[in-house]
Structure 1
Amino acid sequence: MEDGDDNPRNPLLSVVQESFLPKTVSIALKCILVGINISSIVIGVIYFNDCPGQPLIPYYLIVSGGASLLYLFMTCLPCIDSDRVTTINLANLCAQGLMILFLFAFFIVGNVWVYSLYNEPWNDPRSPSRCQRVLYLYAFWMITLCHLCFLVLLSTYLCLLLCLLILKKSIIGGRLS
């Protein structure tokens, strides 16, 4: 087998390595995400002790921002083989998978922490469940925007699946006629 051929022992690695986005779009999205995650860390650090109603919200912003930056770094960290061809090794792919699982679990925990103050008077300075306005609203809207992005992705995938099913049925129906 030549060096340029796909590895038959790892057929999924060759599929994962191919990006479905143009490189410029991928770089632009990663830069935007880096900015969002750095701002999460900064807001969490600035308002670290300003949320006695739920003191774990700054921790959520700092840890999720740092873990997301680490994940973005891992996606930009290719391994180079002898032919100077950029590839992803299995260890990096497994580390990315574990990081995604951690971020998903921590996202659920962050939902509980942030939305637990939603019905409370978090904006009242005399309330024991108060939280600094910028800190709370930033965390609330970041989590809400994540939910909206997940919803858009899910509905897009479901629409594509429906279109493919309709197309398959029309092709099969055309052959039977």
Structure 2
Amino acid sequence: MSNARLLQTIQRPPKLSTPTLTCSKVFACIMPIVQIAIGAVYLDECPRQHYIPIYLIVVGVFGLVLALLACLPCAQEPEDGTTNPLSRVCTAWNSLTSFFLFCWFIAGNVWIYSIYQPSYTKNSTNIESYCNKTLYLFAFWTTTLVYILLGAFLVGGCCVLVCFFLCGRADPDDDV
């Protein structure tokens, strides 16, 4: 594939089918819904760090907001190449929501990792060091999963760049 065709493909990615888009949206909403549910169920179950259930609820709500914003018609670019007047508003709102989620994620890291590993047994002598096991481990592993996925994407991206570099060197019709 020539560089010009690759750039055209990047600028105009192929359209996904409606079932694929629907399944991806549903999948993107599952984790936020579970975060909201676990945060709400165990709201008062972590005296050691009472912000952890609040963190889960807020990150779940804003995750759902981002998923729903992606469904709005103003989030998609028109096919005729014109610009949608609401597109800038949607872009600004998505950017602000994403920035808030990034800052909230950093705060959640501090709250979750600073108490590692809390006491999972609730009794009168250690009530201040107690945190519900389901709540804490869910928050811990969902936060850690973000780092695992980020690392996988970085490694995968580097591998793709190396492949593009190696394949680009081997293509005799490119003017390098």
TM-score scaled to structure 1, two decimals? 0.76
Q: Which residue does the alignment assign to 2:62?
A: 67
* Number of matched pairs: 158
Cα offset for 1:74?
0.6
Alignment of 1:97-116 (within 5 A): 97-116=95-114
CA 1:122/1:172 → structure 2, altered by over 3 Å: closer, same or farther?
Answer: farther
Alpha-carbon distance between aligned partners in 1 of 2:170 and 2:42, rounded to the nearest angstrom: 58
Aligned-residue CA RMSD (Å): 2.9
Alignment of 1:21-170 (within 5 A): 22-79=17-74, 89-119=87-117, 121-126=118-123, 127=126, 128-170=128-170
Q: Which residue does the alignment assign to 1:3?
A: none
AA paired with 1:100? S
Instruction: List gaps (5 residues or longer) in structure 2.
Output: 1-10
Alpha-carbon distance between aligned partners in 1 of 2:97 and 2:16, rounded to the nearest angstrom: 22
- More displaced stretch, 125-134 vs 72-81: 72-81
Cα offset for 1:24?
3.0
AA paired with 2:53? P
Alpha-carbon distance between aligned partners in 1 of 2:96 and 2:147, rounded to the nearest angstrom: 21
- More displaced stretch, 166-175 vs 68-77: 166-175
AA paired with 1:146? V
TM-score scaled to structure 2, two decimals? 0.77
CA 1:44/1:115 → structure 2, altered by over 3 Å: closer, same or farther?
Answer: same
Is contact 2:168–2:174 with CA below 8 Å preserved after alignment?
no
Cα offset for 1:21?
5.2
Alpha-carbon distance between aligned partners in 1 of 2:172 and 2:110, rounded to the nearest angstrom: 48
